[in-house]
Amino acid sequence: MIKLLLQIIIIIILQYFQAVTLGKQRASKSQLMLFNASGFASIVLTTKKINGEFMPVGNEQLATIIHMENGYTAIIVDKDGYTKAQSKILEKKIAINIFNKLLKNGATKYDGEYVNIWTNKYPTFLSKN
């Protein structure tokens, strides 16, 4: 019984590390795309948890803007709205300019109403406008 439990734990840990590795590759690609458009970008999430299972963030390059306390942030998310990369806090006009550069460079507009950053959900600025 203990041996079986240990095998299950090892499988879960391996799945998590595989998700992290693949998710980091995908988030790094998003970070580079956003960096090229804005001059600054940080990785936000590399994994997501769906139905209790860790998975890498998606490969999609979906761009949007969120309004935060001190300004606006251009972000790249996957199809489920998990944020892979984000700019620093910006003025609205600059965030829109970066968003347009992302579209020009191959990203697609994210049409969802909310994005996920860690355990928080943020409404997308573009879904309202």
Q: How far is 64 from 62, CA to CA, in rounded Å?
A: 7
2-48 confidence digits (pLDDT tens): 889 999 899 889 999 999 999 999 999 999 999 999 999 999 999 99
CB 75 within 8 A of CB 83: yes
Instruction: Parse the chain into domains and list their residue ranges.
Output: 2-128
pTM across the whole model: 0.91
% of the chain with per-residue pLDDT over 70: 98
61-73 confidence digits (pLDDT tens): 999 999 998 999 9
pLDDT confidence band for 125 (50 / 70 / 90):
confident
In order of 32, 77, 115, the CA distances from 53 in angstroms are 27, 19, 19
Average pLDDT over residues 114-127: 89
